[in-house]
Structure 1
Amino acid sequence: MVMDDGVRSRARAETAIADVEVYDFGRAATLSREHARTLELAFETFARQWSAQLSGKIHVRATIAVEHVGMLTYGEYAQSLPTTTTMIVCALPDSDERMIVQVPIPTATSWIVQMVGGRSTSTAEDRTFTPIEQALIRSLIADAIDHLTGSLDGLLPAGVTVAGIQYSSQFAQVAAAGEPVIVARLSMRHGGRTVPASIMLPASVLAGFAVRASDADRTETPGLVRRQVEAAPVEVALRLAPRTVLPREVLDLAVGDLLPLPHAADRPLLLTVGDQTVATAAVGSAGARLACVVTATVPETAPAQESA
């Protein structure tokens, strides 16, 4: 069977269109593999610390695990949450940006009940907290923020405080809908139940990676210079004490002339690097080649002595 050229062209065009992946420019940028891995390790450390702290506070063994760390827009994050949930909004120092610690309302309610010595039930109602309950939750989350700040190792500034508690994910205007945020999905298990939770950080914390890199470069610079200098080849020379002569004497030199030098016959020669004397040496041999035998090293002159 012979295929018409026009049919071939249309087939190739359709194949090319099918292979094109449409890019959504309104979507938040993704984390680099290195940043994602660093954040995952940091949140895993935080999860272990928060598990221990939470278990001691609510008097029930709690286990927290990290499910995923990624970047979304705030609108996408808000839409992924239940309509009613506990959103502890935290303020970053010297900034209008906010972070969120989100847990289901029944879970937060059970924490409160267990903190005051009660026994939680599996059918806690979705309701707002009383002022006393809010104070207990604030205290609990404040301790968790301290662990998170330490685990992120400088990415999250010290001094984050709890600014308020929201209950509606759709009406909590913590950030612009298109603003990129970092979201850590957690699973929390205690009392025989496993529930989802999350932590949202402003994407500006990623700027801390650049600060880390510049600090590391600044710290490594002296070592790099030292290693480079140590590996650089230098020429050594064995010299006699120099004599100053006039240009006319140099021009009048001829074969057989004897040029006296101010170097005593019993005085060792000077071993130099550039114009710097580093040792004294005597003439020797190594097989069929001349060599020098170091007789003494010249101590390094202190800067104070040189200036004097």
Structure 2
Amino acid sequence: MTVRTASPMAQIDSDRPHATARRAVRATARPDADVQAYDFRRPSRVSRERQRTLTAMYERVVKSLESALVSRLRDTIDLRFQGVEQVTFGEYIHSLSIPCSAYLIDIHKTGHCGVMDFQRELAFYLVDRLFGGSHEPQLMDRALTPIERMALSTVAERALVACVEAWHDQVKLTMSVSGFESIPEIIQGIGREDPVLVANIEATFTGGRGLLSICLPLAALESFFSQSTDRVSRGVGTAEDRAENRRLTESTLRATHVPVAVRLPEFSITLAELLELQDGSVISLRIPPNAPVVLRVGNQQRFTGRFGKANGMKAMRVDEESAEPITAP
């Protein structure tokens, strides 16, 4: 009986389909993944835990600044927090437009400085509204004038106050606007390779949208990034420690400024009466002297009451809480 063995070439040929199948399996088992480069010289320090903390902090900044802008501009503007990212200062500088509207931030007693930049569309919109404009602002391919910079600096300072309040529980910062620069490459105070934390806030307004960015060096926030992120360890402590944390939290909340407005009940007039209005016209509100008035906190109606006087000035007596709009009888 003769036994035939397969030739080496035949064995190779029979292995080829299996090898091809194995390669196909490996190819399908490894779909394209979102691969991110890791910088060993400047590793990212914004972990998921700190990301959540930073998001909560800057959401407070957004709400505080939005409320102040709506009250100041007498116009609708919507601010949304887009997120924070760690980049080098050089990368941040290269992302700014030319010319830019960048305010330099002096972080007192640290030797560091930061930058707050208003995108061109947002800068010209705010300048237009601060000077009493009511139409779609005209965008110009130029740097802001000294008068425009001075007007816009009031918004920068208000945003800086909100930022200091938000960071208060994590890092005690004292910051102020120290200058203005319209050419990104001239901005000094931070090394080009130094890591910075950039918070981006998008503003939507009449006629467009723009970005507000707040850049702070990580060196000034070292105590925040070096502290433990263990939830359990942060919750333990003596009774005195917990009482002190509660006191600090309450004092921060109580120091937060909220806009309050008192409004008369809604009333209506005919179209003919509206067309007859001119300078010096007197409108009859058809509202009795003791009609209830509405106290609004932010954009919410909270209380109803009556008009009166206190210490020779207009005042309101709060009668009860109210969640329904008040109309004229």
Q: State the one-letter code of the partner of 1:85.
A: C
Q: State the one-letter code of the partner of 1:168.
A: I
In 2, Cα distance between equivalents of 1:169 and 1:154:
32
Identify the residue that residue 57 of structure 1 maps to in structure 2.
72
Deviation for aligned residue 1:213 = 7.6
In 2, Cα distance between equivalents of 1:35 and 1:62:
29
Quick check: 1:87–1:167 contact (8 Å CA) kept in 2? yes
Identify the residue that residue 127 of structure 2 maps to in structure 1.
112
CA distances 1:60-101 after superposition (whole Å, capped 9, x unpaired) = 111110112121111122222223221111100112211221
Question: Residues 1-308 of structure 1 correspond to what in structure 2 (within 5 A)?
Answer: 1=13, 23-204=38-219, 205-208=221-224, 210=226, 220-223=236-239
Q: Classify 1:21/1:36 alpha carbon distance in 2 versus 1 (closer, same or farther; 3 Å).
A: closer
Deviation for aligned residue 1:222 = 3.1
Could you say what secondary structure the match of 2:238 adopts?
helix
Deviation for aligned residue 1:28 = 4.7
In 2, Cα distance between equivalents of 1:22 and 1:121:
42
Q: Classify 1:82/1:129 alpha carbon distance in 2 versus 1 (closer, same or farther; 3 Å).
A: closer
Quick check: 1:100–1:200 contact (8 Å CA) kept in 2? yes
Q: Classify 1:166/1:42 alpha carbon distance in 2 versus 1 (closer, same or farther; 3 Å).
A: same
Residue identity over aligned pairs, in percent, reads 21
Quick check: 1:39–1:152 contact (8 Å CA) kept in 2? no
Where do 5+ consecutive residues of structure 1 fail to align?
225-308
Cα RMSD over matched residues? Answer: 3.5
In 1, Cα distance between equivalents of 2:37 and 2:227:
34
Identify the residue that residue 245 of structure 2 maps to in structure 1.
none
Q: Classify 1:124/1:26 alpha carbon distance in 2 versus 1 (closer, same or farther; 3 Å).
A: same
In 2, Cα distance between equivalents of 1:58 and 1:127:
23
Q: Classify 1:126/1:218 alpha carbon distance in 2 versus 1 (closer, same or farther; 3 Å).
A: same
**Which has the larger displacement, 83-92 or 156-165?**
156-165
Where do 5+ consecutive residues of structure 2 fail to align?
1-12, 241-329
The normalised TM-score by structure 2 is 0.56
Give the number of aligned pairs. Answer: 216
Who wins on radius of gyration, i.e. which is larger? 1
Deviation for aligned residue 1:146 = 0.9
Q: Classify 1:156/1:100 alpha carbon distance in 2 versus 1 (closer, same or farther; 3 Å).
A: farther
Q: State the one-letter code of the partner of 2:193.
A: G
